[in-house]
Structure 1
Amino acid sequence: MKLTNSITLIILLALLVGCGGGSESSSQVPENNESNTQTAATTESSGNTETNETPDTTQLVAPQSFDFRVDKDVRILLADLPQTNGVINIYHGTDFYDEQNDVYYPDGKTLLTSWRPKQTQQINVSFNKNWQGLLIEWLPQTGFEKEQYIFFSASQINEELLLSINAE
């Protein structure tokens, strides 16, 4: 009997504490009306009153040419290619610039694609306008030629790039 009374008392106390006293709080949710949707800032300077209102999205106007896309398609064409087999790697980032030899070296993490030019003479790449440019790397499969690096800055990239790799 003592056990059931103590359990009942504990449950009753838990309910009273958990539910609270039932008093009304002073915080109320404001009604959604016209004055709350438009923010107005009023400043007074030398007797003049100026009001700035936040524009509604229906008031925003963009030019017809505006586009959120930051990429464009670039076609890379081969004009000249050595007779030996090799691979062309295309990167969008550089890791190192050798000032003495005026050569950019690629950042391996920015590899876009690899291409065997003996199979096809062109390749299409999507270029992001936020990239610094495209770096073309020629890797011959023989030891008789040197690897070559050609860097195109973002301002040089159009819809087509003409690529010439000469045997050295």
Structure 2
Amino acid sequence: MALKGPCPALLLLLLVLLPACLALGQRETRHEKFHRQHVDFPKTSAPDARRYCNLLMPRRNLTTDACKPTNTFIHAGPAEVDDVCHSGGTLRTENYYDSKVPFELTICRLAGGAQRPPCNYRGRTSTQQIRVACMGGLPVLDGTNPGVLG
């Protein structure tokens, strides 16, 4: 016998909304946030660095409330980037490690104008060593990383 009335519809709604509510309750770790903000591998395709930055910055939620002034994207696998906190890096100070090898990067800088979305970025590609803050053997956000070593 099939159920009648609002109960089946309510049950279906709960089954659909429950996973979304659970996902919202889980906060991103500092390591996950580092990867979301700084690791893009394989590199997202774009015709040039400017368009790449204008595509990736909002896609990675870096322009939600305000335009982030600068951001570096690392085009290497997550495990390779994480290894900078181990054998792939050299301890410099406290919890900062410099990579032993250069990484392919895209550096996005706000191109003047509004500090509020929509944001407009300039982009520059390079291959350089990076500096990351590490906690528990993993790269994390600390407000200043990843840094690019000259």
Band the TM-score falls in, shorter-chain normalisation: under 0.3
Which protein has the bigger strand share? 1
Whose helix fraction is larger, Structure 1's or Structure 2's?
2
Q: TM-score, normalised by structure 2?
A: 0.23
TM-score w.r.t. the length of structure 1 is 0.21
